[in-house]
Amino acid sequence: MESRSRRVKVAYRAIIFLLLAFVFCLSSFDLSPSSRAAQPQSDQNQIEAGRRVYLGSCGMTYCHAAGGIGGGGPKLRDRDFTPEYLTHLITEGVPGTSMPSFKESLSKQQITQCVAFILSLSPRKGAAKPNSDPQPQSNASQPQAQTIDTHLSGAAPKTETAPSPTPEPVKSNVAINDTFDIRGDVEAGRSLFFDSAETRNCRVCHTSQNRGGHIGPDLTEMARRPPREILLAIVAPQAAIDEKYATITITTRAGEKFTGVKRDENETMIRLFDTSTLPPVSRAFLKSEVAKTERLNTSAMPADYASKYSFKQLLDLVSFLKSSSVSFKELF
């Protein structure tokens, strides 16, 4: 009797061991949605996902229209695209035309899905083409084809990989003292920087992360500066003036004076951004009508942001500016 119960106990232990082993194996398959997404999608899922991306970004009649039939933009169906070509075009866009770059608004995966959808609109290579018309394909159904044709003349590399996506801005805390109550909010700072309803906000003159004006310096690289220095640059702009954006005054022969940041000049003309009004107005002068041009040792930036913004708003701005560079992640 005792040996049988002992065998039963061994059997039970074995079963339990096998069960545990099974459970352990199962748990090593992470079935969470995020990991499911990372697995390669089936072709059909890929195309369906791509159809949704296409709908949101490409399918307007002003662009490529439903089903890729073409509207304001060229048709995408019944074409002979390679995946690399499409990926490049969608990622980089075609500057100088209405085709934007989607690298900031779509993820790599979304672009891949969209490419799969667009390719599904054309017959597979090797299969009989649906249109066996012996006439050469004319530009008939794509009156604006000349834009895509110039690009097809070898401009797009076929093996270039899509660029890596820009890092997500991270919520930051610029407080030096951990017990300090007021903390900067990156998103609040971003809204303040870019609020288009305000004529004095930073984006009127400055760019950050590829958006904004070009009258003052691009502030994307401010992220590398210490927070104190950024704050000072906002509230006391006279303390350190960037040479390239020095203020000048132009006096015309008619006696009018204009002060602002020099924009550019060539043999016959000089332009400056008149910062006496916001948004600044670029003014062009024939050199023959200029009596004198003087460099001023002042910054064209308004010097009253300390009173215009609350301390919290200033911290928010600093936080936003600190978040804009990859170096932020390296430092923190």
Partner 1 sequence: MWRRIAAEDRPRLQLHILLASILIAALALPVVAQEPSWARLINSDREPQNWMSYGGNYAAHRFSALDQINRDNVKQLMPVWMFHTGELRGGLNSTPIVVDGVMYLMGPMNRVFAINAETGEKLWSYIYKLPRISIPYQPGSRGLAVAHGRVYFGTLDNHVVALDAGTGREIWDVEVEDVRQCGCNITSAPLVVKDKVIVGGTGGEHAHRGYLNAYDAKTGKHVWRFYTIPAPGEPGSETWDPRMLKYGGAPTWLVGSYDPELNLLYWGVGNPSSDFYDEFRPGDNLYSNSIIALDPDTGKLKWHYQEVPHDMYDFDSAYECALIDYEKDGRKQKLLVHANKGGMTWVIDRATGKYVNAWPHVDILTWLKGVDKNGRPVGMQPVPPGKETFVCPSAAGGRNYDHSAYNPRIGWWYNIGWEVCNVIRPEKLEVKEGQPLFGGSMDMKPPKEKPAYGHINAFDPLTGERKWRYNTTGMNLASLLATGGDLIFSGDVMGNAFALDARTGQKLWSFKTGAGMSGSPISYSVNGRQYIAFPTGMGSLLAGLVPLLWPETANKIPEAASTLVVFALPETTSKGAAANGK
What is the contact surface with partner 1 in residues (CB under 8 A)?
52, 55-57, 59-62, 65-67, 69-72, 75, 93-101, 105, 135, 138-144, 146-147, 194, 196-197, 199, 203, 210-213, 269, 271, 277-284, 286
93 touches 104 (CB < 8 A): no
Whole-number minimum distance, CB 72 to partner 1, in Å?
3
Residue at token pair 């401010």: 222
Residue type at position 140: A
Nearest distance in Å: CB 225, partner 1: 23
Q: How far is the CB of 293 from partner 1 (least distance, A)?
A: 18
Of 75 and 225, nearer to partner 1 (C-beta) is 75
Q: For partner 1, which is the closer residue by CB, 50 or 212?
A: 212
Name the H helices within the chain.
2-27, 33-38, 43-57, 83-92, 108-119, 146-152, 186-194, 227-235, 305-308, 311-322, 326-331
| Complex with partner 1: residue 3 or 266, whichever CB lies closer | 266
Residue with Cβ nearer partner 1 (224 or 271): 271
Q: Which amino acid is at 117?
A: F
How far is residue 293 from each of residues 43, 150, 214, 253, 302, measured CA to CA in Å? Answer: 65, 45, 22, 11, 22
C-alpha distance across the termini of the chain, in Å: 68
Residue 286 C-beta: closest distance to partner 1, Å = 7
Shortest reach from residue 187's CB to partner 1, in Å: 13
* Dihedral angle computed from the Cα positions of residues 195, 200, 204 and 208, in that order, rounded to the nearest 10 degrees: -60
Q: How far is the CB of 143 from partner 1 (least distance, A)?
A: 5
In the bound state with partner 1, the residue whose beta carbon lies nearer, of 72 and 226, is 72
Comparison of 106 and 174: residue with beta carbon closer to partner 1: 106
